């Protein structure tokens, strides 16, 4: 470690520069993100309540969907409220401990999200390619194992990120060109060697993002081949309709995360990173409930029944 780095200690706080320096734009951003967060929260909480309250939806597909809604809610809640508070109070500071905590939960929910989407692809693969064995293969025990594995795996991976971060020293500039504490902007501020951290980021990105994405592609390649062999046009249309919702989520999530963590740093800019982060921390969690519910008759029925129960009980 260089002598000049040893003479510095990590700052007690960081400054989150946010999405814009213009006060007028910040008020617009506050209104926009507040609306998106409210819609996201209501949508994902409604899906979780509808699935838990309707016995017809106690199946593997909806079990994974409820888990995904919970993760999306946690991912957005970890970043958006802090940004809204900073805009409202005109304070951009975040303590060192809170910064690491926010970074931990951001990676924790992001990794769980990525693996869960792959689990849902596997569920669709078994349902469409091996329908006669679906109930046997996707047993409650296997579903519980598949759903719990990403949570445990993500816990240790995210904890390792934090432990590697605590060994770094930050000196001089403490301004983060982001609206929340993310790993890449933090590494840029360190005045010590970050090669180990960057190597671990590449390993995790390859293991979590690339591997799960390839598994999803393989699952849907088999699914499409099976669907094309279905003799009736109605059967093919129904199968494609079921899968299209999940494919839309895959495109939204992986299209942004791959751009941030697997693209060369030479083609990444702070603005591109922030735009991508907005997509997978706010926009995607907000759209997921609509993507799944608008194309799913059973889920729409469960949501209507839930609303009718609430109206009846309140009246």
Tens-digit pLDDT profile for residues 132-168: 889 899 999 999 999 899 999 999 999 999 999 988 8
Residue 256 lies in a domain: yes
Tell me how crowded residue 69 is: count the other CB atoms within 10 A of its CB.
24
Q: 13-16 and 93-95: which strand pairing?
A: antiparallel
Residue 24 lies in a domain: yes
User: What is the pLDDT tens value at each position of the chain, 315 positions in all?
Assistant: 444 444 445 578 888 888 877 777 888 889 999 999 999 999 999 899 888 888 888 889 889 999 999 999 999 999 999 999 988 888 888 998 999 999 999 999 999 998 998 898 899 899 888 888 898 999 999 999 998 999 999 999 999 999 999 888 887 778 888 889 988 888 888 888 889 998 998 888 888 888 888 888 898 888 888 888 877 777 677 667 667 777 777 777 777 666 665 555 555 566 777 877 888 888 888 988 888 776 677 788 888 887 877 777 776
Model pLDDT for residues 16-50, shown as the tens digit of each residue: 888 877 777 888 889 999 999 999 999 999 899 88
Residue 222 lies in a domain: yes
Residues 285/73, Cβ–Cβ less than 8 Å: yes
Q: State the sign of the Cα–Cα–Cα–Cα dihedral 289, 295, 296, 302.
A: positive
CA distances (Å), origin 270, targets 20, 189, 254 = 12, 13, 19
Residue 1 lies in a domain: no
Domain that holds residue 282: 12-314
Residue 135 lies in a domain: yes
Residue 2 lies in a domain: no
Provide the number of structural domains found in the chain: 1
CATH of the domain at 158: 1.20.1070.10
Residue 7 lies in a domain: no
Residue 6 lies in a domain: no
Q: 13-16 and 175-176: which strand pairing?
A: parallel
What is the rounded distance in angstroms from the CA atom of residue 82 to the CA atom of residue 226? Answer: 46
């Amino acid at each position: 470690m260089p002598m000049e780095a040893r003479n510095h200690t990590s700052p007690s706080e960081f400054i989150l520069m946010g999405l814009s320096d213009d006060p007028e734009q910040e008020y617009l951003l506050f209104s926009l993100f507040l609306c998106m967060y409210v819609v996201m929260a209501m949508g994902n909480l409604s899906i979780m309540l509808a699935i838990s309250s309707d016995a017809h939806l106690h199946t593997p597909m909806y079990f994974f969907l409820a888990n995904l809604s919970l993760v999306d809610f946690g991912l957005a809640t970890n970043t958006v409220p802090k940004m809204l508070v900073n805009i409202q109070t005109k304070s951009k500071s975040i303590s060192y401990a809170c910064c690491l905590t926010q970074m931990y939960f951001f990676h924790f929910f992001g990794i769980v999200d990525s693996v869960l989407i792959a689990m849902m692809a596997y569920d669709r693969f078994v349902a469409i390619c091996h329908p006669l064995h679906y109930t046997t293969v996707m047993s409650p025990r296997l579903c519980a194992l598949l759903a719990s594995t990403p949570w445990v795996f993500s816990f240790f991976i995210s904890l390792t990120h934090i432990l590697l971060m605590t060994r770094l020293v930050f000196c001089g500039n403490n301004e983060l060109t982001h609206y929340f504490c993310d790993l890449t902007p933090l590494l840029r501020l360190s005045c010590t060697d970050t090669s180990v951290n960057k190597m671990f980021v590449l390993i995790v990105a390859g293991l979590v993002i690339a591997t799960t994405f390839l598994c999803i592609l393989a699952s849907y390649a088999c699914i499409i081949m099976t669907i094309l062999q279905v003799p009736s046009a109605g059967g093919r249309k129904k199968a494609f309709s079921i899968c299209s919702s999940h494919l839309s989520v895959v495109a939204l999530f992986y299209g942004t995360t791959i751009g941030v963590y697997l693209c060369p740093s030479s083609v990444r800019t702070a603005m591109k990173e922030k735009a991508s982060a907005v997509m997978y921390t706010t926009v995607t969690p907000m759209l997921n409930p609509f993507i799944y519910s608008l194309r799913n008759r059973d889920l729409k029925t469960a949501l209507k029944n839930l609303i009718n129960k609430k109206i009846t009980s309140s009246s």
